[in-house]
Amino acid sequence: MTVFIAADTPPAIRGMLRRWLLEPRANVFVGTLNPRVRQMLTEYVLRLAPTMSLLILTADNSSQGFSIEMHGEPDRQLVTRCGLQLIAEKFDPSCQTTSGDNST
């Protein structure tokens, strides 16, 4: 399963995402894509609107069961703690760890 959450989606991009995914709410697109189509769709969106905020959730075999990608200028930050991907609303760069760090 793949979820695209976009902010201020232009009509051309919205139309392309609707060809491949369902849109249950405005700017939220959900569906099942293979990795190649997901990559091509992401590249298309970023090429046409490079500053648009885009959050992509994809199913994988991690302990969380999904992975998170963020593109553009999001108002939140992706932080990795003990191998878990978390979303920080108020981000303090001094607290950031790398994905290989297992400290708490």
Domain count, the chain: 2
49 and 92: one domain?
Answer: no
pLDDT at 104: 44
pLDDT digits (tens, 9 = 90+) for 69-101: 988 877 778 888 888 888 888 756 666 555 444
Domain hosting residue 30, numbered range: 2-73
What is the CATH classification number for the domain harbouring 30? 3.30.70.240
pLDDT digits (tens, 9 = 90+) for 29-64: 999 999 999 999 999 999 998 888 899 999 988 888
The pTM of this model reads: 0.77
58 and 99: one domain?
Answer: no
64 and 80: one domain?
Answer: no
How far apart are alpha carbons 100 and 89 in whole angstroms?
22
82 and 97: one domain?
Answer: yes
61 and 97: one domain?
Answer: no
